[in-house]
Amino acid sequence: MAIAEAALAAGHSVEFSGDVASPVGQELISALCSRVHPGPKSAEELAALAVSVGADLVHIDTYVEQGTIFECLNRSSVRLSSMEDGTYGRRRADIIIDPSPGAEVLHRPDDGSYRLFRGTKSIPIRRSIRQLRSVGKHSPAIKRVMIIMGGTDARDMTATLVRLWAKAAVPSHCVAVDPNGRSTLGIELLEGQTLELVRPSLDVPELFPTMDVVISGAGTTTWELATLGVPTGLVQLVGNQNDNYQFAIQRGIAVGLGDISTGELDEAAAIQKIQQLLLSDSLRRKLSTQSTELLDGAGADRIVAEWEQLMDEPSEVSIRPATVEDAGILFDWRNEASVRAVSRQRGELHWGDHVAWVTRAVANPEVCLLIAQFEGARIGTVRFHVVEPNVWEASITLAPEMRGRGMASAVLAAAEVHFVVDHPEAILQAAMLESNVQSFKLFQGAGYAGELERIDGELWYRLTKTAASITPN
């Protein structure tokens, strides 16, 4: 819903397809679009639907296997955007959206997906939630607590958490969002405690800013509460919430009350933490500050901007700066035995060291790390890095499937044009082993010239070229 809102705000049209049973979900969709297509029974049926409504892009969000959906859509010139949650819902797509915190520094095996957009910057928050950031804070005479477990709450954790809140014995008013629509839970309250049961609805989030504490499952609501700076206690309800749960606790934006996905909740520990949340003003202030510093709520807008860039890709080789998201494919390319054999460092890379290097490189003004793209795929990388004042060494690696297809010269030429825009006075240098004939011919053909040198007992070509000899587009 958050992404659909952002797409509409950016001037795009949106249609939905799927089977929506939740009344709240139906209400959200009807507010954005009057037409919902039945869920397709096959990849071919979804592709046909996309073509019939004139879609440029399909965004899919499901853990259910979708077969040949990427191939079917691409045959119809329709781009695929796929939401995944770590390994849940993983499939090949033109763009992968994974809002799992920390996902951007995890290795995702290359499956032919074109672009990755992952981590907290991609967490989509509905506009109606973001607008609540301007709601003024309150100072009630009695603490206010909300318990919201979301969905169908099959394990009835709503009642469990209400009972634990009551046992915490802190005078407060509790609003419990009960999907079962009960009028009472039969829980004994202590003096100074009051309980109000409400049904799930679109109006519930409007209560978030009025709460001193919200106790929630570790799903999407986690990020809505963090965006609003609401002090939160989290319960991990299912296995796929683990990344959210651990990240929120480790980054200090929520207090972890326990994990019930694989066992029983430690009720004594949970009660103690609920007491701390209600009694400690400083803890709540700290959680609120750290939450709003981490999340700005603009993930949906960024996702739509990524879609727009995807749709505007030129048909020829294009160049863009690398990001941490590219660490995985760079790791796979660089770790190939044939690539290591002609490199200065010939040992196997280790993921932790590699992702740390990429993180530093993309922020280092003395490194220009670029990604080459062509026909919906990342096909290679070119790196320029300073070796002495105003001298930049160039190196190139192509994706294995691109080698031997005559693409290297086009990739290098496009990368040089991109580079010289910001470095018109640079001297470019390339170094390769004498035995690396293909690399020598590539750089010689691109106008580099030089002689053989002996370095550590091996013969290397060291070739140079001036940036001034490169003609920008």
Provide the 3-class DSSP secondary structure of residue 207: helix
C-alpha to C-alpha distance for 337 and 347, rounded to whole angstroms: 9
Looking at residue 136, the DSSP 8-state letter turns out to be P
Q: pLDDT at residue 139 above 70?
A: no
Question: In sequence order, what are the residues at sequence separation of 6 or more whose Cβ sits closer than 8 angstroms to the Cβ of residue 94?
Answer: 57, 70, 74, 79, 80, 81, 113, 114, 115, 310, 376
Under the banding of pLDDT at 50, 70 and 90, the label for residue 405 is: confident
Pairing outcome for strands 193-198 and 172-177: parallel
Q: pLDDT at residue 1 above 80?
A: yes
Q: pTM here?
A: 0.77
pLDDT for position 376: 79
CATH number of 2-125+298-309: 3.40.50
Q: pLDDT at residue 360 above 90?
A: yes
How far apart are the two ends of the chain, measured CA to CA in Å?
40
Mean pLDDT lowest among 110-119, 155-164, 454-463: 454-463
Give me the sign of the Cα torsion angle 175, 176, 181, 184: negative
- With pLDDT > 90 as the criterion, what percentage of the chain qualifies? 65
Cα–Cα distances (Å) from 256 to 145, 222, 226, 266, in that order, read: 16, 12, 14, 11
pLDDT for position 138: 61
Residue limits of CATH 3.40.50.2000 in the chain: 134-294
C-alpha to C-alpha distance for 84 and 96, rounded to whole angstroms: 7
Residue limits of CATH 3.40.630.30 in the chain: 313-469
pLDDT for position 136: 62
Q: Which of 465, 460, 426 is nearest to 443 (CA)?
A: 465
E-strand stretches of 192-315: 193-198, 213-217, 232-236, 255-259
Model confidence pLDDT, tens digit, residues 297-354: 999 999 999 999 888 877 789 999 999 999 999 999 888 877 777 676 667 889 999 9
Q: pLDDT at residue 152 above 80?
A: no
Looking at residue 298, the DSSP 8-state letter turns out to be B
pLDDT for position 154: 76
Question: In sequence order, what are the residues at sequence separation of 6 or more whose Cβ sits closer than 8 angstroms to the Cβ of residue 179?
Answer: 149, 150, 151, 152, 153, 158, 199, 200
pLDDT for position 135: 72
The whole-angstrom distance between residue 268's C-alpha and the CA centroid of its chain comes to 35
Mean pLDDT lowest among 153-157, 167-171, 458-462: 153-157
Question: CATH class for domain 313-469?
Answer: alpha beta
Q: pLDDT at residue 126 above 70?
A: yes
The whole-angstrom distance between residue 76's C-alpha and the CA centroid of its chain comes to 27
pLDDT for position 319: 94
298 and 109 in contact (C-beta within 8 Å)?
Answer: no
CATH number of 134-294: 3.40.50.2000
> What order of strands is seen across the sheet that includes strand 449-455?
318-321, 367-374, 377-388, 391-398, 427-433, 458-466, 449-455
Mean pLDDT lowest among 284-293, 415-424, 462-471: 462-471
Q: Which amino acid, one-letter code, is at 466?
A: T
C-alpha to C-alpha distance for 382 and 371, rounded to whole angstroms: 7
C-alpha to C-alpha distance for 360 and 307, rounded to whole angstroms: 27
Question: Which tops the pLDDT comparison, 52 or 313?
Answer: 52
User: What would the mean pLDDT of 453-471 be, rounded to a whole number?
Assistant: 87
Model confidence pLDDT, tens digit, residues 202-250: 889 999 999 999 999 998 899 999 999 999 999 999 888 888 899 999 9
Provide the 3-class DSSP secondary structure of residue 454: strand
Under the banding of pLDDT at 50, 70 and 90, the label for residue 281 is: very high
Looking at residue 180, the DSSP 8-state letter turns out to be T
The whole-angstrom distance between residue 163's C-alpha and the CA centroid of its chain comes to 36
Q: pLDDT at residue 467 above 80?
A: yes
User: What would the mean pLDDT of 148-167 be, rounded to a whole number?
Assistant: 89
User: What would the mean pLDDT of 421-447 be, rounded to a whole number?
Assistant: 91
- With pLDDT > 70 as the criterion, what percentage of the chain qualifies? 97
Q: Which of 214, 259, 252, 255 is nearest to 235 (CA)?
A: 259
pLDDT for position 313: 77
The whole-angstrom distance between residue 443's C-alpha and the CA centroid of its chain comes to 37
